[in-house]
Amino acid sequence: MPGTIPDLNTAEQHQDHMTIAGIGAVTGYGWGREALWEGLLSGKHAARPYPGYGPERDRHGWVARVPEGGDPEAGPALYGRAVQESVREAVADARARGWRPGRTVGLLHAIVLGNVYEWRDFYVVDHGQRRSRDYLRLLPSTPNAMIMREFGFHGPAMNATAACSSANVALLTAQMWMAQGVADDVIVVASDLSATPDMVQPFVAVGAAIDDDEPLSACRPFQQGSRGFCFGEASTAFVVTREAARPYAAVLGGAMTNDGYHVISVEPSHEQIFECVRRALVSADVRPEEVAYLNSHGSGTQQCDDAETALLARLFDDRPQVTATKPLTGHCQAASAGVEVAATALGYDRGIVVSSPIVAAAHPRLVDGTTPYNGGITVKTALGMGGNNSALVLGPVG
């Protein structure tokens, strides 16, 4: 019957737990996970006004773009450097926490649009004419090949794409690989550097994105007066494994569903979102009353706020505290859930729960800024365009 969860077999109910052993991040706050963490703690958004936005490209737009930086030896493209540096940081972090790569290390890259800045230059500046080696930088397989070569990994390597749910989906796929013996460890990287005027304006035109106001004013998830989301950019990376001395967090389970309804809009009954979270809890062997935090998709759009508010009431009886960080980091599209998983994992490690400051009348369970972490399990939801629903169940280690 609609809205009820079907019986799940034993394999689905007892997925092997994996842990997040290393974290790397490049965001609008700067290069490195510490820049992300300090930015979140500050309660100040990462966005700046950049010229060339609007329908006529004649005004400034508020976006949280990745600043210049990275290793010049990794190539001239900011996108490639961001992906490479986030993975390098995650691998170094995991090694420092006691990870030793297993025999088979795989790579999953959560990606939607890829190297947007260079693709634009390829057509507009270079008029479709480039040397072969320069053209190859544009291909979504190239960052994967460079990562595997640099570290000498030889497991499966592929891209995962599910709109704004992509980072969650990549982490869930990594868990499947490990449970099935496809890989011993997996590098999961989620990237999106697409906050160009040409990419932002269509989202503004359909009423989802805002670029004419500061994020904390325009984007207010679970608060009155929210107008939508502001764009952000990021590349986040994780080393997921069963073998690490001091991991950040455990990935207990998760699930994915699809609304089968519309290319943009959320299905109004929200049944497939509820179903996704039910399945995630069953896979993790977690009861709703055990969930302490909902790390929300929190885009600030009306339809997402409605869906997650209904989820809180119907499945969780409004018990969990709610976090929402997109007003700070921007909506980083394919990398958005990656940024938010990183915030949760770092928070577990450091005893702090981070969320955006409340600026208007809000849901009573919404966290206002930072608060001490008092233990418990987190459900991380991500709702991607095209009805791509996903939920991860994260818990502390030990």
pLDDT in tens, 329-342: 999 999 999 999 99
12 vs 138, residue with greater confidence: 138
- For residue 19, give every residue at least 6 positions away whose Cβ sits within 8 Å of its Cβ, in sequence order, or none: 240, 241, 242, 244, 247, 248, 249, 250, 251, 397
Per-residue pLDDT at 2: 36
Per-residue pLDDT at 75: 84
Q: Point out which residues pair with 354 in neighbouring strands.
A: 370
CA 313 to chain centre: 24
Per-residue pLDDT at 16: 54
Q: What is the DSSP string of 165-208?
A: THHHHHHHHHHHHHHTTS-SEEEEEEEE----HHHHHHHHHTTS
Rounded to an integer, what distance in angstroms lies between the CA atom of residue 148 and that of residue 379?
A: 31
Check the CA dihedral 203-207-208-211 and report its sign.
positive
Q: Do the Cβ atoms of 294 and 378 come closer than 8 Å?
A: yes
Per-residue pLDDT at 133: 87
As a whole number, mean pLDDT of residues 168-178 equals 97
Q: How many CA atoms lie within 13 A of 228 on its CB side?
A: 16
Cα separations (Å) of 269 from 21, 37, 246, 310, 353? 38, 36, 42, 9, 31
b/e string for 230-258 if b means 16 or more Cβ within 10 A? bbbbbbbbbbbbeebeebbbbbbbbbbbb
Give the tokens for residue 117: 């800045």
As a whole number, mean pLDDT of residues 319-336 equals 98
pLDDT in tens, 26-57: 999 999 999 999 999 999 999 999 999 999 99
Per-residue pLDDT at 351: 97
Q: Sorting pLDDT into bands at 50, 70 and 90, what band is 63? A: very high
As a whole number, mean pLDDT of residues 19-30 equals 98
pLDDT at 252 over 70: yes
Check the CA dihedral 234-361-266-277 and report its sign.
positive
Give the tokens for residue 36: 């992300």
As a whole number, mean pLDDT of residues 367-386 equals 96
5 vs 164, residue with greater confidence: 164
pLDDT in tens, 295-312: 999 999 999 999 999 999
As a whole number, mean pLDDT of residues 162-179 equals 97
pLDDT at 13 over 60: no
Q: Do the Cβ atoms of 234 and 27 come closer than 8 Å?
A: yes
Per-residue pLDDT at 198: 96
pLDDT at 3 over 70: no
As a whole number, mean pLDDT of residues 353-371 equals 98
pLDDT at 112 over 50: yes
Q: Sorting pLDDT into bands at 50, 70 and 90, what band is 7? A: very low
As a whole number, mean pLDDT of residues 70-84 equals 92
Please, what is the average pLDDT of the chain?
Answer: 94
Nearest to 378 by CA among 299, 325, 328: 325
Q: Do the Cβ atoms of 326 and 295 come closer than 8 Å?
A: no
Q: Point out which residues pair with 234 in neighbouring strands.
A: 27, 192
Q: Sorting pLDDT into bands at 50, 70 and 90, what band is 1? A: very low
The amino acid sitting at 115 is N
pLDDT in tens, 185-223: 999 999 999 999 999 999 999 999 999 999 999 999 999
Per-residue pLDDT at 74: 84
Per-residue pLDDT at 17: 78
Q: Sorting pLDDT into bands at 50, 70 and 90, what band is 73? A: confident
CA 22 to chain centre: 15
Q: Do the Cβ atoms of 240 and 188 come closer than 8 Å?
A: yes
Q: Beta-carbon neighbour count of residue 292 at 10 Å? A: 17
Q: Beta-carbon neighbour count of residue 385 at 10 Å? A: 18
Tell the burial category of 354 from Cβ atoms under 10 Å away from its Cβ (0-12, 13-18, 19+): buried
Give the tokens for residue 80: 């490639």
Rounded to an integer, what distance in angstroms lies between the CA atom of residue 327 and that of residue 324?
A: 8
Give the tokens for residue 21: 């052993």
Per-residue pLDDT at 376: 95
Locate the DSSP E strands across the chain. Answer: 18-27, 30-31, 48-53, 59-63, 105-110, 157-160, 185-192, 234-241, 249-258, 291-295, 321-323, 352-354, 370-372, 377-384, 388-395
Q: How many residues are listed for the chain in this entry?
A: 398
